Amino acid sequence: MMDKLAQATEILKHAKYAVCLTGAGISTESGIPDFRSDRGYYTNFIPEDALSVGVLESNPARFYKEGYTILKDLEGKKPNPGHVALAKMQEKGFIHEIITQNIDDLHQAAGAKQVLQVHGDASTARCERCNYREDFKAFDERVQSGEIPPKCPKCGADMRTNVVLFGDAMPQAFDDAMRATEKADTMIVVGSSLKVMPVAYLPRMVEHLIIINKGTTPYDHNADVIFDGEASPILVELEKRLSE
């Protein structure tokens, strides 16, 4: 472990431009279930189906009974030491953009500034027609009252979460992530299996790759350094060494 930390520290200290890519593995340490895992009620439905545009449009009652529960899981969660360590690394200039597959806003809550949410943002909802915006709390109050799907208070069209559902086009944040990665020579991946496209394409664009993840990824053979374990203790120690 000590040798790996020293190697990762040197790579980041000498990087010309480093970015970070995070996935569910950093947020599970804040108590947010990974919907790809086999725990709890996620065994009762297929998230890729229930969290799809097709189900939202054709069977909204099912969407709000099944897929919507994943969004509700994010309420009240707080950033963990891993999120804080990344924010500090960004503030000190060791990494630039934080590209995240997560929809929980925990990077921002930890103080990170340049966060590209390539799978959207669960904290807001929008109107499909006029793009009226509403925060999740107000949106959820209407869902809980039985207004399914919630209607836009301005034009009456259906509203929906700002999360990128299966079947949606990728948002502008993904184009921004591509541009950031094109500038980068180094990427640190945290808590991602690197199996979900098109985000999983990004690590192949950089020269140096550091992976922190529980379990293997398809990019392990390309990585300079691999940490197999919980993200927070590794990130905290890495940030400490970078600041020495």
Q: What is the pLDDT of residues 176-227, one digit of tens each?
A: 999 999 999 999 999 999 988 899 999 999 999 999 999 999 999 999 999 9
Of 4-8, 45-49, 88-92, 189-193, the one with minimum mean pLDDT is 45-49
Mean pLDDT, the chain, integer? 91
DSSP 8-state secondary structure symbol assigned to residue 170: P
5 vs 82: CA distance, rounded Å: 15
Label residue 37 exposed, middle or buried (CB < 10 Å: 0-12, 13-18, 19+). Answer: exposed
* Choice between 77 and 33, residue whose per-residue pLDDT is larger: 77
pLDDT tens for each residue of 104-157: 999 999 999 999 999 999 999 999 899 999 999 999 999 999 999 999 999 999
- What are the residue numbers of the active site? 119
DSSP for residue 151:
B
pLDDT at residue 72 is higher than 90 = no
Average pLDDT over residues 70-81: 86
**pTM beyond 0.85, yes or no:** yes
pLDDT at 41 (0 to 100): 42
Question: How many whole angstroms separate alpha carbon 30 and alpha carbon 84?
Answer: 12
Buried/exposed 44-81: b ≥16 CB within 10 Å, e otherwise: ebebeebbbeebbeeebeebbebbbbbbebbeeeebbb
Closest CA to 186 of 3, 9, 5: 9
